[in-house]
Amino acid sequence: MINFAEAAFHHRAFAQELPRFISEVRRTFTPEAIAAQLARIEHERNEKDEDVPGEDDLLRESPSNIVERARQFMTIKELLTATALGTS
C-alpha cells in the first residue's frame, strides 16, 4: 500500500492512478484495518529513523529524505483516513 503511494510522488503513471488506488484500498479494508496498518508502518519507520548509525554507514538515509518520506506518508495517511474524499 505505502510503496504504491510513495511511487506516485515520483512517477506520473502512478500519480494518475493514485485516486483510484486510494478509493480501492478504502473500499476493500475497514477504517480500523487501515488505521492499524498505518500505525504499524509509522511505528516501524519511527524506529528506523531513530537508529543512530556509525559515521561510515553509507546506507543511512539523508535527513532531507527522511523529512520528505514523512511528508509523503502523512499525505497518504490523510487520504486513507479522511471521513470523506472530495472530487474536483
pTM of the model: 0.73
C-alpha cell at 64: 532531507
The answer to whether residue 72 is domain-embedded is yes
**Rounded to an integer, what distance in angstroms lies between the CA atom of residue 78 and that of residue 51?**
26
- Total domains in the chain come to 1
Containing domain of residue 71, as a range?
Answer: 2-49+58-81
Domain assignment of residue 8, yes or no: yes
Q: How far apart are CA 84 and CA 41, in angstroms?
A: 23
Sign of CA dihedral 44, 5, 29, 31: positive
CA–CA separation, 52 and 73 (whole Å): 22
The predicted structure's pLDDT at residue 38: 94
Angle between helices 31-50 and 63-81 (to 10 degrees): 170
pLDDT in tens, the chain (88 residues): 778 878 888 899 989 999 899 999 999 999 999 999 999 998 988 777 666 555 556 667 788 888 888 888 998 999 999 987 766 5
Q: Is residue 87 part of a domain?
A: no
